[in-house]
Amino acid sequence: MKDTYIVTSVRTPGCKKDKGAFKDTLPEDLVAFILNAAVDKTPGLKKEDVEDIMIGCAFPEAEQGLNIGRTAGQIAGFPAHVSGATINRFCSSGLEAIALGALRIMAGWSQVSIAGGVESMSFVPLGGNMPRPHPEYTKQHADLYSSMGITAENVAKRYKVSREQQDEFAYHSQRKASEALDQGRFTEIVPTPATKYVLQENGTYTRETFIQAHDDGIRKGTTAEGLAKLNPVFAAGGSVTAGNSSQTTDGAAASVLMSEEIVKKYGLKPIARLVKYTTVGCRADEMGVGPKVAIPKLLDMAGLTIGDIGLWEINEAFASQALHCINELGLDKYMDRINVNGGAIALGHPLGCTGAKLCATLLANMKSRGVKYGVESMCVGGGMGAAALFELCE
């Protein structure tokens, strides 16, 4: 099989659901913008050279329905012959889109594609607008449809992750994100147009556009003491709070994927090669343990060990599950390699976008630090884990 190279990987800022900069920005506009940004940042690439666009989306309905992978590409001005698809593997949708786009190149079915993800949790709520669990199956396996917050509580209780440990982890996520923001380390972000509606004196609203350049959910003033005062939100007497859970967020991300032949044609130096990707199932009622089963499978496929990996992006859906997976895998010895710019607790988890967003972040950090191998992993709603291995190009 051929190799697939990532030559560009970018993202919009992540902005808070309902209260953030993108609350009135349509998801199609977010995708269209980041697709254009990915092309603009790839020297020599023309839109007509792209063969396919794959966009991950966890709840592809309403404003982000109707195959947003196709419609957003057309809004962005790609020619009609550039096809598009929408991919759904819940929290790993964006990474799944990248993996599927890469596989097409590996198989020789295409040469150039763009893959990414989007989620506007302001427009489409978590769970969708009209959830309809199977009436009979729900009686037997209600856990398949259970709240992710409840699964986080299950992980905390079953594996003895204390409230104090969760709050400390959340504090460090906010601290690292604040430092990264102050030091300008989010180099993968492209300042993005955002929409707002401004009330006029005559009582009508005017649609205006402004540029959003940074993640707006980072809480610089976060303290461990402040986190300890928050009440649990998913279970009475529980330990999972809004402060040690990921933020619900809006955002989009995209990566340009190319074969070796096209990389040479354009004279480009790719950022990284996608080496391996895998998924694995786990119990639905503790879906947060996904990374602890996906990462060993990935490393076994690649013939590598934990110590070989220079950087990790492990999605912080909840502090309880991220901590449990880190400890179970023995990654606690390498905390300085994990989520070095903070994680989803501080930066947000825009569901279908997250896998693509973390790819952009991981590759930017690998490049800046000269790290050979990086791994991205996350738990996935419904009881799964996903993990991908990237190798920095010399």
Examine the residue annotation and report whether 349 is marked as an active-site residue of this protein: yes
Residue 33 has which token pair? 């913008």
* Amino acid type, 124: V
Backbone angles phi, psi at 10, to 5 degrees: -135, 165
Residue 48, judged by CB atoms within 10 A of its CB (0-12, 13-18, 19+), counts as exposed
Could you give the angle at the alpha carbon of 99 between the alpha carbons of 303 and 145, nearest 5°? 100
Measured from the Cβ of residue 30, the count of other Cβ atoms closer than 10 Å reads 28
179 torsion bin: left (phi>0), alpha (psi -120 to 50), beta (else): alpha
Q: From the candidates 15, 282, 324, 349, give the one annotated as an active-site residue.
A: 349
Q: From the candidates 57, 91, 325, 359, give the one annotated as an active-site residue.
A: 91
Q: Is 275 helix (H, G, I), strand (E, B) or coil?
A: strand
Examine the residue annotation and report whether 379 is marked as an active-site residue of this protein: yes
Could you give the angle at the alpha carbon of 368 between the alpha carbons of 41 and 289, nearest 5°? 95
What is the distance between the alpha carbons of residues 116 and 114, in angstroms, rounded to a whole number? 7
Q: From the candidates 15, 353, 379, 393, give the one annotated as an active-site residue.
A: 379
Examine the residue annotation and report whether 393 is marked as an active-site residue of this protein: no
Measured from the Cβ of residue 132, the count of other Cβ atoms closer than 10 Å reads 7
Catalytic residues: 91, 349, 379
